Amino acid sequence: MQNNGPTHVTKTYMPSKEKYQKYVNEIFESSWITNNGPKLQELEKRLANYLGVKNVILVSNGTVALEIAYRTLGIKDFAITTPFSFVATTSSLVTNGIKPIFVDINKDTYNIDAEKIEDSITKNTSAIVPVHVFGNPCDVEKINEIAEKHDLKVVYDAAHAFDVKYKGESVLNYGDISTLSFHATKLFHTIEGGALIINDDELVQKARYLINFGIQNAESIPELGTNAKMNEFEAAMGLCVLDEIENIKQGRKKVVDTYTSELEGYVKFQDIDENVELNNSYFPIVLKSEEELLKVQKALNDENIFPRRYFYPSLDTLDYIEPKQECKVSRDISRKILCLPCYPNLVEDKQKKINQIIRRKL
């Protein structure tokens, strides 16, 4: 099968048009399009059951999910986090008046180096905000131990960790709150959207009124909130995608398995713990140098193939971050890492060409 159009790092999964139209018809009949509608309630319940978590709170996007998590837990002053992530992990802290303190990453897993966290804890540290990078779980047990020892809150940015399991259980159950992104490019999506995973029922209630302008009930607005609600059309898309999630996962696994077998020995792969069951959302490779990366990237671009330098740049280089910090491992990895196209219906011939170009250039 040939496909001469551009091949990007990911492609939005489009589920059954007929099923989505059925949901849309029901929305039009009810005229209930937002404010905790029936489609949203159904999706929250189905996701909680599918993911193996107690509570799912759907919101308008993954960034606001992080912001609501900080407000729900009362995080302030300083939070320890990783410099190797999408910018929203850092910007969501800064916009909420929380100073990010970066701890460098492990050179093999690309996650925050849990062994270095305690060195950065001060009396003004209120939380740890780690990231399961490319869905690869952090050292959740070590981080939990540190948090308990120092009485810190833990918010996991789990944007990439939908249905990732650690020791047979959902990795989303770790920390005080885990947040997800359901952006259109994700493994599971609701067009735009996100979620908070919270086990503590009291925190659930607080988070629910924080996403609705701080309104607790018709006569009470106890805290400053915002409008972070997901609408019914997005929830309907989520219901459709969830119905097809196993096919999506199988399609991605096939792509990842092909890359792994074809590129073994040519590039470096992310180290994954043997107790982890990944979702195959991304396929990152690390080259020997930035020069080598740029050579491979150009060769792929010349064939209308567009991998992504993800994550780049390292967030400790951002101009608006104070205090200034330098994370050498993160900066090094960010200059050499490339995410290859990975989605269920990636044309086999195109993936073969990607592998051939990379091997030829190396």
Residues 232 and 257 grouped into a single domain: no
pTM over 0.85: yes
| Cβ contacts of 279 within 8 Å, gap of 6 or more | 135, 160, 161, 162, 163, 164, 187, 249, 252
Q: Is the dihedral of CA 256, 260, 261, 267 positive or negative?
A: positive
d(CA 169, CA 162): 12
Q: How many Cβ atoms from other residues are within 10 Å of residue 16's Cβ?
A: 12
User: Left, alpha or beta for 225 (phi > 0: left; psi -120 to 50: alpha)?
Assistant: beta
Total domains present in the chain: 2
Q: Are residues 133 and 267 in the same domain?
A: no
200 and 250, same domain (yes or no): no
The answer to whether position 104 is within a domain reads yes
Mean per-residue pLDDT, 15-28: 98
The answer on 208 and 255 residing in a single domain is: no
What are the tokens at 16? 């059954």
| Closest to 316 in 3D by CA, of 143, 149, 101, 159 | 101
CATH number of the domain at 96, please: 3.40.640.10
Please check whether residue 3 lies inside any domain of the structure: no
Q: What are the C-alpha distances in Å from 171 to residues 159, 168, 175, 332?
A: 12, 9, 9, 28
* 123 and 238 both lie in a single domain: yes
* CATH number of the CATH domain containing 266: 3.90.1150.10
Average pLDDT over every residue of 46-64: 98
Confirm whether 8 is domain-assigned.
no
User: Could you report the per-residue pLDDT of 230-250, keeping only the tens digit for each?
Assistant: 999 999 999 999 999 999 999
5 within some domain: no
* Domain finish residue from 226, 243, 260: 243
What band does 1 get if pLDDT is binned at 50, 70 and 90?
Answer: very low
76 shares a domain with 218: yes
The answer to whether residues 187 and 251 belong to one domain is no
User: What is the maximal distance between C-alpha atoms in the chain?
Assistant: 68
Asked if pLDDT for residue 182 goes beyond 70, the answer is: yes
Residue after which a domain boundary falls, among 209, 243, 277: 243
pLDDT tens per residue across span 83-94: 999 999 999 999
CA distance 31 to 40: 14
Q: Are residues 179 and 151 in the same domain?
A: yes
Work out the average pLDDT over 10-18: 97
Task: Say yes or no: 148 and 261 in one domain.
Answer: no
Task: Check if the beta carbon of residue 15 is closer than 8 Å to that of residue 23.
Answer: no
On whether both 210 and 64 belong to a single domain, the answer is yes
Asked if the structure places residue 4 within a domain, the reply is no
Pairing verdict, β 78-81 and 99-102: parallel
The sheet with strand 165-166 has its strands ordered as 169-170, 165-166, 276-277
- The per-residue pLDDT of the chain, averaged, comes to 97
Helix H or strand E segment including 26: helix 17-30
Task: From 243, 258, 292, give the residue that closes a domain.
Answer: 243
* Same-domain status, 120 and 268: no
| Same-domain pairing of 200 and 316 | no
Q: Would you say residue 80 lies in a domain?
A: yes
Mean pLDDT confidence for 185-202: 97
159 occurs within a structural domain: yes
For residue 183, what are the domain limits? 17-243
- How many other C-beta atoms lie within 10 A of the C-beta of residue 82? 30
**Domain for residue 12, yes or no?**
no
Predicted pLDDT at 2 = 46
> 80 vs 106, 332, 335, CA distance in Å?
15, 20, 23
- What is the average pLDDT across 50-60? 98
Q: Distance between CA atoms of 243 and 188, rounded to whole angstroms?
A: 10
Q: How far apart are CA 334 and CA 360, in angstroms?
A: 23
